[in-house]
Amino acid sequence: MTTTLSTLAEINDAIGRDEAQLARHRLHLAECAAAEQNVVMARELVRLVEKRLAMLRERRQIAEATEGPGESGGRRRP
């Protein structure tokens, strides 16, 4: 299920969760490499989360530009 992130707070929360997940995946990748295990899946998980984070950060920039100063995530009124 995909949810639409509509406020800066929601986007920032998603970024925080993904950063924590990325740290866990990177640790797992390092552990696999140290144990000389196959690292292909661990590496792909890292790449997937890195791509998602890049998209979320871009979305945050767009939201910051469209919300303007002092707005709390509501829709802009004409």
pLDDT digits (tens, 9 = 90+) for 22-59: 999 999 999 999 999 999 999 999 999 999 999 999 99
Q: Decide if 29 is inside a domain.
A: yes
Q: Decide if 71 is inside a domain.
A: no
Q: Decide if 75 is inside a domain.
A: no
Q: Decide if 1 is inside a domain.
A: no
Q: Which two tokens stand for residue 6?
A: 């509509």
How many separate helices (H) and strands (E) can be counted in the chain? 2, 0
CA 17, CA 53: separation in Å to the nearest integer? 10
pTM for this structure? 0.77
Q: Which residue range(s) make up the domain with 36?
A: 8-65
Q: Decide if 51 is inside a domain.
A: yes
Q: Decide if 25 is inside a domain.
A: yes
Q: Decide if 41 is inside a domain.
A: yes
Q: For the chain, what is the domain count?
A: 1
Task: Using a pLDDT cut of 70, give the percent of the chain over it.
Answer: 82
